[in-house]
Amino acid sequence: MFKSLLIANRGEIAVRVMRTAREMGIRTIAVYSDADANALHVREADEAVHIGPAAAKESYLVIDKIIAAAKASGAEAIHPGYGFLSENVAFADACEKAGIIFVGPPASAIKAMGLKDAAKALMEKASVPVVPGYHGDIQDARFLEGEAQKIGYPVLIKAVAGGGGKGMRRVDDPARFEAELKSAQREAGSAFGDERVLVEKYVSRPRHIEIQVFADAHGNAVYLHERDCSLQRRHQKVIEEAPAPDMPEDMRRAMGEAAVAAAKAIGYRGAGTIEFIADASRGLRADAFWFMEMNTRLQVEHPVTEAITGTDLVEWQLLVAAGEPLPLTQKEIPLEGHAVEVRLYAEDPANNFFPSTGRLTRLRAASSDHIRTDMGVEEGDEVSMHYDPMIGKIIAHAPTRSLALAQLRSFVLDMEVVGPKTNLSFLAAVLGHPSFEKADIDTGFIDKHLAELVPAFYLSPEVVGAAFIGHVLLRAKRSRAAQAQTSDPWSPWAATDEWVLGGHRTEVLKFIVNGEALSLPVTPKGKDAEFVFNGVTHSASGSLSDDGDIAVLVDGKRVTAAMVSEAHGFTIVHRGANYTFTVPDPLDVDVVSDGDTGALKAPMPGKVVQVLAEAGAAVKRGTPLVVMEAMKMEQTLAAPADLVIASVNVAAGDQVEAGAALVVFEQKADQ
């Protein structure tokens, strides 16, 4: 076994690999960019090597820099993690030439399965069913549009290289094909350095089911059962589970054996995943699944497989890379219980899951014997605009699926995450949705139920009561601190009693809550208080701990929440949802408000990749105006209403900050 390991990645997977390596007595070396100088994976490593600027293409994706870091640190092996260079043939070759062990398959296997079109052709030769489509080399837009017509809409445009939903577009309307093709090609080129795509049939009720395979250098290969990854947004997985709900045993065996045969056919070694699409319109059947692609690396969702099989797949990777045989035979691999994983992202589900950035001012969760958390950050760390917005993963394992879902949902609801917007409450909504609980799922589940999973903004009296009590107690605490500093302790301006100027006991507190204005008349009643919300009077009392935890009685109902103080207000965290209360400053008035002209603003820092707007044009609500790229994803920004464009302030290639006015409007088009 080698004694030192460089992890050519960052975030959650780098921390995950280090954990197993440390248990095996292997020294770990991290690499980091300018943006990651203080990142968790750097703090966790035994040694860390700087490899360049924040942009991945200048650091994590530069093969020469990774090899140089390995040589400088004396690393005997390199683990690529997932993403970045994990499925890069040139990187695997470079490791071999440098005399460094690559913890992954041979370069020949990566090449055979790394390009979706070539992989599908290989599977067809091996008599593995593949989804109907065009997998050839011709990339002319008119030709591909013709192939789409032959296949029949809806179709999927997919990047030939890479994965993770990058460079993938579903097209239902032939009129949108060319625009979606160009967008997919741009995104694929940015993410993988390869703009080529394929076009294939979109299955009506698809279930995304994948098989975990493992092979060694001694001719042994096994499958470690399946994972269901059907819960997706933007063609990226959000929730994964193992085994697949309602999977017939004959289908499990057929898919597993096909996956192992595919691995053996290309001389595979290490961890890999064969991804299939299954038609769930008549239930899962052994004759209704098709090969999609092979990921020649460890998957993000590998923890659910580890849970049901009692294995450590990173340990298996390291053993196989060192020349050891597989630890278990096929007959020895168990399948125990059910595991479910959710991915915690810094993103805004209410804004088409657009990525979010910022410092994690609060990141806390209860300890649990039933829950595993794989995090790439800690409280106080920054979620950067330069990389994938995943904060971490949360995994539950229980004897049954229903128990795993219940335990996971309870844990998620108790989590406290403040800073960037997250999908925490969305995850809780999915886990508790009746259709998901019944396993009535396919890859369109989130789109179908989006209105239920991302409901309109709603404030409850309990949350308002917690905010009101928290605000008053925090104000009193600050007042006491100010009183301790004043030279006149008897000054009425330092008092913390119920006295108010003019003798009135009722006060109107004004807040902006998640963008909505709230006026709250409150009246002290001894140790308690009353507040009026939506025309109804409520009573409230409570306490605020030094740590920011609030215990409140609202109309006799006990409410617990976390309160995180911020520069101009505070955030209340209650059952997985965040409510940001801003205290307006009457002296802080914009000279010109957005309402005077109206503007389409950048939702976060990023790069403008395409401008579709023209000054003077009248546009309808929903008309695409600007395409931005941020955190490895493209986002199309559309007109918010029927408007006339006054000016366009950006051009393709511009880097913009959050809140920058990209397009300015004059007036409504019908005026």
- Distance CA(538)–CA(339), nearest Å, equals 43
Q: Which of 297, 343, 401, 409 is catalytic?
A: 297
- Distance CA(164)–CA(155), nearest Å, equals 18
Give the pLDDT confidence of 600-610 residue by residue, as tens digits: 988 777 889 89
Grade residue 113 by pLDDT with cuts at 50, 70 and 90.
Answer: confident
Classify residue 457 by its DSSP letter. Answer: P
Question: Which pLDDT score is estimated for 592?
Answer: 32
Residue position matching structure tokens 């009135």 = 504
Mean pLDDT, residues 187-206 taken together = 88
For the question of residue 558 being annotated catalytic, the response is no
Mean pLDDT, residues 313-337 taken together = 98
Question: Which pLDDT score is estimated for 394?
Answer: 98
Mean pLDDT, residues 538-558 taken together = 91
Report residue 77 as tokens. 């092996």
Element (H, E) at 70: helix 63-73
Sorted by where each starts, the structural domains of the chain and their CATH numbers stand as: 4-103 (3.40.50.20), 132-201 (3.30.1490.20), 206-453 (3.30.470.20), 461-582 (3.30.700.30), 594-668 (2.40.50.100)
Residues 275 and 210 sit within 8 Å (Cβ to Cβ): yes
- Alpha-carbon distances, residue 229 vs 71, 159, 226, 298, 445 (angstroms): 38, 19, 10, 15, 11
- Alpha-carbon distances, residue 274 vs 53, 113, 137, 192, 203 (angstroms): 34, 10, 23, 20, 18
Question: Which pLDDT score is estimated for 589?
Answer: 36
Mean pLDDT, residues 92-99 taken together = 97
Mean pLDDT, residues 281-291 taken together = 89
- Distance CA(69)–CA(29), nearest Å, equals 9
Residues 231 and 446 sit within 8 Å (Cβ to Cβ): yes
Grade residue 587 by pLDDT with cuts at 50, 70 and 90.
Answer: very low
Mean pLDDT, residues 218-229 taken together = 97
Residues 157 and 187 sit within 8 Å (Cβ to Cβ): no
Question: Which pLDDT score is estimated for 405?
Answer: 98
Question: Which pLDDT score is estimated for 515?
Answer: 82
Grade residue 286 by pLDDT with cuts at 50, 70 and 90.
Answer: very high
Asked if the peptide bond before residue 243 counts as cis, ω within 30 degrees of 0, the response is yes
Describe the crossing of helices 401-414 and 424-431 by its angle, rounded to 10 degrees: 150
Mean pLDDT, residues 183-207 taken together = 89
Interstrand relation of 606-611 and 528-533 (parallel, antiparallel or unpaired): unpaired
- Distance CA(20)–CA(563), nearest Å, equals 36
Grade residue 482 by pLDDT with cuts at 50, 70 and 90.
Answer: low
Question: Which pLDDT score is estimated for 669?
Answer: 44
**Measured in whole angstroms, how far is the alpha carbon of residue 57 from the centre of its chain?**
21
Question: Which pLDDT score is estimated for 500?
Answer: 44
Whether the pLDDT of residue 64 is over 60: the answer is yes
Mean pLDDT, residues 433-449 taken together = 96
Cα 447-444-371 angle, rounded to 5 deg = 90
Interstrand relation of 338-345 and 4-7 (parallel, antiparallel or unpaired): unpaired
Question: Which pLDDT score is estimated for 490?
Answer: 41
Mean pLDDT, residues 33-44 taken together = 97
